[in-house]
Amino acid sequence: MLHLRLISPAARTEDAAAVLEDCAGVTNIVVIPGAAREPAGDVIMCDAARESANEVLGRLQWLETEGSIAIEEIDLSLSKVADHAVEEAPGEPDDAVVWEELAQRVQSESRITWAYLTFLAIATQLAGIGVLQNSPILIVGAMVLGPEFGAVAAICFGLLHRRGHLVVTAFRTLVVGFALAIAITFACALVSTWLGWIDLGNLARNQEVRFIVTPDRWSFIVALLAGAAGVLSITAGKSSALVGVFISVTTVPAAGYVAVALALGDWKEVSGSVSQLAVNVAGMVIAGTCTLLVQRRFWPQVGRRSSV
């Protein structure tokens, strides 16, 4: 269930309440006249099944400019009427995509932030160390730590809804993030070579992690599966599934390998890891966009709002 808090101009409160009463899956409707100060108006609260959110938001779209809409998840609801509302709403809660919620999420994750750059830089350095130490455990750790899938999901959403600015912003976030992470890891690896800690022999002995620089048809298939699973985990709120996506694709390990190979001057390995990185990103974008398209077109109960 979702909890909605609406602020409506007094003159339109009855219209808003009538919409809520007419939508399947909405219950516990409360109207508090004159309670809102900024913006001024009446406060309307209700609970809605997740499957009904798109219809409610679509029919109350005018409140975005004339009032206010806030939505939060309900962790626990002990109510027979709430249970009945969920049963009345079309579809299943885990299948419902609240498009406005997804739009705001990908918008925020498409931006370049210090946290994003820091996590990606640390993850890439861990991957570089994993390559040098021939350690699959470090490689997996770097995969989990990498934050890049948010930008990939933003590209998918932007392509689906033809939001060119979002696609450009998210793509820039990916490019800048990986470029900075590779540069930092390259600098650290270069210092390590000067100190005599590493040499080309480290790359020759890394048979356990050779999959990072040998992209093939399976790499692309894995990227497709991971992209679809990643989008589904975001739209369904399944964070545990998203961790599995991180472990499946070798974007961050490939970036770490690029940095180390550059520092050691092994250009053949550089080309292989760059190809792996490109294959993974392309596969995830293709599969993620197609997954969102299927959700919007073939699951109408979770995508009624066409204006998003």
- Chain mean pLDDT for the chain: 87
The whole-number pLDDT of residue 243 equals 67
CA distances from 132 to 135, 208, 258 (A): 8, 11, 12
For a pLDDT cut of 70, what percent of the chain falls above it? 92
Cis ω for the linkage preceding 33 (within 30 of 0): no
Two structure tokens written together for 113: 């932030």
Per-residue pLDDT tens digits for 213-266: 788 888 899 899 989 988 888 887 666 666 666 666 788 999 999 999 999 988
Determine the CATH number of domain 2-96: 3.30.70.120
Query: Which whole number is the average pLDDT over 115-140?
Result: 92
State yes or no: pLDDT of 65 exceeds 60. yes
Condensed to tens digits (0 to 9), the pLDDT of residues 118-130 reads 999 999 999 999 9
**Closest of 148, 302, 291 to residue 233, by C-alpha:** 291
Terminal CA-CA length for the chain: 22
Say which residue, 303 or 31, is predicted with more confidence.
31
Q: Which CATH number among 3.60.21, 1.10.3470, 1.20.1080, 3.10.450 corresponds to the domain 101-302?
A: 1.20.1080
Q: Is 151 left (phi over 0), alpha (psi -120 to 50) or beta?
A: alpha
| pLDDT given for residue 83 in this prediction | 85
What does the pLDDT read at residue 263? 92
Which one-letter amino acid corresponds to residue 194?
W
CA 24 to chain CA centroid, Å, is 29
Q: What is the mean pLDDT of residues 76-95?
A: 81
- pLDDT tens for 158-173 read 999 999 999 999 999 9
**Rounded percentage of the chain residues whose pLDDT exceeds 90:** 51
Which tokens hold the place of 34?
């004159």
pLDDT at residue 239, as a whole number: 62
On the question of a common fold for 2-96 and 101-302, the answer reads: no
For the chain, give every domain's residue range: 2-96, 101-302
Q: What is the pLDDT of residue 299?
A: 66
pLDDT of residue 202: 77
Q: Which two tokens stand for residue 20?
A: 């809520």
* Distance (Å, whole) CA 191 – CA 95: 50
Q: With 80 as the cut, is the pLDDT of residue 44 above it? A: yes
With beta carbons less than 8 A apart as the criterion, state whether 269 and 261 touch.
Answer: yes
pLDDT value for 304: 44
Residue with tokens 């709002």: 305
Which pLDDT value is given to residue 238?
65
